[in-house]
């Protein structure tokens, strides 16, 4: 197998790339990654230089067997798996941590495939190993400090672990379908305290005269996208965060990914759009990404970001809902702790040993945290 890197995803045909996408995962689609590049969200100016890895059947590059989204990073912003302490330790030792290699979807803490394999590949495991080793070889050739694979799915996590890479465990809050057929049954599965809380929060929105609609991509108009971008900017400003995404990128979603996007749009009594949350969907999963509002209403955040998408999943047969990173408040709304995984390679042997020890201790703490949260489950034990 022959590894080959490209500096823009536009160098490869979209159909070739997308046919390797397991489960129609939205964030690995050619359109999503190309949209980030065209809009300038990733590139040399932002510290995310594309170095996508491809694996062919030979040096003639006749048959594409695998691919991985790969970036040369000059900082650790926008990753959601925090390695600031590692970078600080490197620098205090007089070593350079940046640049590093990152196999991930920019600005997207959502579990999914990172090592793409062609459905025509006779030996998928060998293709994954070729991608991993091609990426490691690139890191060594460039003299980089490290390589990081973020939010890997089960197949990729197993492949990376089998190659001796360090596994890191994190935590997010996800909703899983259980056996509920509709939102009423879902409410019935909650404890009395949490059921009353959900009903109260939904009632606050209704009594304010606010309506929320889940609008599918083909039905979204420019006014919806303009409003969603404003809401995104409002949230970024309020949190003092970095506005990674541009208006041009949002426009690309409207045209290139309308089959996999939807917006939960909230309207005031006069019919004006006042809040919104952007969602993506795969074959089985709904992903919550961005939320914002122009005015405050009690309960509106919970209605738009949790109750509407859960109801949508129940009505459309989705198995799970991933609401993004962080947020213990999600537990009370029925989203339970779920492990997430990443894998890491460090060039310096002593630092690799130190980080291995750190990850061993950190994993125990993450698992303990999940057990504690489970004691506060919002679900009735008999359910």
Q: Match 């291995």 to its residue by tokens.
A: 356
Q: What is the pLDDT of residue 95?
A: 95
Both tokens assigned to 356: 């291995």
Asked whether the predicted pLDDT for residue 91 surpasses 80, the reply is yes
How far apart, in whole angstroms, are the C-alpha atoms of residue 258 and residue 36?
A: 16
Which residues of the chain are in CATH 3.40.630.30 domains? 2-170+338-374, 178-318
Output the CATH code of domain 2-170+338-374.
3.40.630.30
Reported in sequence order, the residue ranges of the chain that DSSP labels E, i.e. its strands, are 2-6, 48-50, 52-56, 64-68, 71-73, 100-103, 116-117, 146-150, 166-176, 211-216, 261-267, 273-281, 285-293, 320-322, 336-346
Q: Which two tokens stand for residue 6?
A: 């490209």
CA 32 to chain centre: 12
Evaluate the CA torsion angle 253, 31, 326, 203 in order and state its sign. positive
Task: Please tell me the distance from the alpha carbon of residue 156 to that of residue 115, in angstroms, as a whole number.
Answer: 6
The Cα–Cα gap between 255 and 355 comes to 43
Confidence band (pLDDT; 50, 70, 90) for 22? confident
As a whole number, mean pLDDT of residues 27-43 equals 98
Which residues, in sequence order, are bridge partners of residue 339? 171
Number of Cβ atoms within 10 Å of the Cβ of 179: 8
Which DSSP string corresponds to 176-187? E-TT--SHHHHH
Block residue for tokens 């914002």: 292
Centre a 10 Å sphere on the Cβ of residue 63 and count the other Cβ atoms it contains: 12
**How far is Cα 137 from Cα 160, in angstroms, rounded to an integer?**
15
Angle at 52 between CA 49 and CA 54, to 5 degrees: 165
Residue with tokens 């969200």: 41
DSSP state string for 290-328:
EEEESS--TTHHHIIIIIHHHHHHHHHT-SEEE--S--G
Render the burial of 316-328: b for 16+ CB within 10 Å, e for the rest. eebebbbbbbeee
pLDDT reading at 215 higher than 90: yes
Comparison of pLDDT for 61 and 251, the residue scoring more: 251
pLDDT digits (tens, 9 = 90+) for 292-320: 999 999 999 999 999 999 999 999 999 99
Q: How far apart are CA 118 and CA 64, in angstroms?
A: 7
pLDDT band with cut points at 50, 70 and 90 for residue 382: low
Q: Predicted confidence band at 20 (pLDDT cuts at 50, 70, 90)?
A: very high
Q: How far apart, in whole angstroms, are the C-alpha atoms of residue 235 and residue 334?
A: 24
Q: How far is CA 162 from CA 15, 124, 157, 258, 354, in A?
A: 30, 14, 9, 37, 20
With tokens 């009903």, the residue in question is 199
Average confidence (pLDDT) over 364-373? 95
Q: Which CATH superfamily is domain 178-318 in?
A: Gcn5-related N-acetyltransferase (GNAT) (3.40.630.30)
- Which residues on adjacent β-strands are paired with residue 147? 101, 345
Interior CA angle at 20 toward 217 and 339, to 5°? 75
* Alpha-carbon span 191 to 178, nearest angstrom: 15
Count Cβ atoms below 10 Å from residue 258 Cβ, excluding itself.
15
pLDDT over threshold 50, residue 378: yes
Burial of 13 (0-12, 13-18, 19+ CB in 10 A): exposed
Spatial separation of the C-alpha atoms in residues 44 and 54, rounded to whole Å: 21
pTM for the full predicted model = 0.96
Average pLDDT over residues 51-57: 97
pLDDT on residue 383: 45
Question: pLDDT tens digits for 117-165?
Answer: 999 999 999 999 999 999 999 999 999 999 999 999 999 999 999 999 9
Give the per-residue pLDDT at 381.
Answer: 81
% of the chain beyond a pLDDT of 90 = 93
Mean pLDDT of the chain: 96
């Amino acid at each position: 197998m022959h590894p080959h890197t490209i500096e823009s995803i536009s160098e490869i045909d979209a159909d070739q790339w997308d046919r390797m996408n397991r489960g129609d995962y939205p964030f690995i689609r050619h359109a999503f990654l190309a949209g980030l590049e065209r809009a300038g969200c990733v590139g040399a100016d932002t510290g995310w230089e594309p170095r996508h890895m491809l694996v062919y059947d030979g040096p003639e590059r006749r048959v594409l067997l695998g691919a991985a989204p790969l970036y040369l990073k000059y900082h650790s912003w926008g990753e959601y798996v925090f390695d600031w302490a590692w970078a600080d330790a490197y620098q205090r030792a007089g070593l350079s941590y940046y640049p590093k290699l990152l196999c991930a979807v920019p600005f997207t803490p959502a579990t999914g495939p990172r090592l793409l394999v062609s459905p025509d590949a006779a030996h998928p495991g060998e293709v994954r190993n070729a991608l991993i080793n091609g990426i490691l070889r690139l890191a060594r050739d460039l003299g980089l400090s490290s390589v990081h694979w973020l939010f890997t799915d089960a197949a990729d996590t197993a492949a990376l672990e089998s190659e001796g890479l360090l596994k890191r465990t994190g935590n997010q809050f996800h909703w899983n379908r259980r056996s509920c057929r509709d939102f009423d049954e879902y409410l019935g599965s909650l404890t009395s305290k949490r059921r009353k809380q959900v009903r109260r929060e939904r009632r606050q929105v209704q009594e304010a005269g606010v309506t929320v609609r889940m609008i599918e991509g083909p039905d979204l108009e420019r006014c919806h996208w303009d409003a969603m971008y404003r809401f995104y900017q409002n949230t970024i400003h309020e949190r003092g965060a970095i506005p990674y995404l541009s208006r041009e990128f949002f426009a690309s979603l409207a045209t290139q990914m309308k089959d996999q996007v939807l917006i939960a749009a909230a309207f005031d009594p006069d019919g004006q759009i006042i809040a919104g949350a952007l969602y993506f969907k795969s074959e089985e999963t709904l992903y919550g990404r961005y939320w914002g509002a122009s005015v405050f209403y009690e309960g509106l955040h919970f209605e738009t970001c949790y109750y509407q998408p859960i109801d949508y999943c129940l009505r459309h047969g989705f198995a799970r809902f991933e609401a993004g990173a962080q947020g213990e408040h999600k537990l009370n709304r029925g989203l339970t702790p779920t492990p997430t995984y990443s894998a890491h390679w460090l060039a310096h042997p002593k630092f690799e040993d130190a980080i291995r020890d750190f990850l061993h201790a950190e994993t125990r703490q993450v698992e303990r945290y999940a057990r504690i949260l489970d004691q506060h489950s919002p679900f009735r034990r008999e359910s």
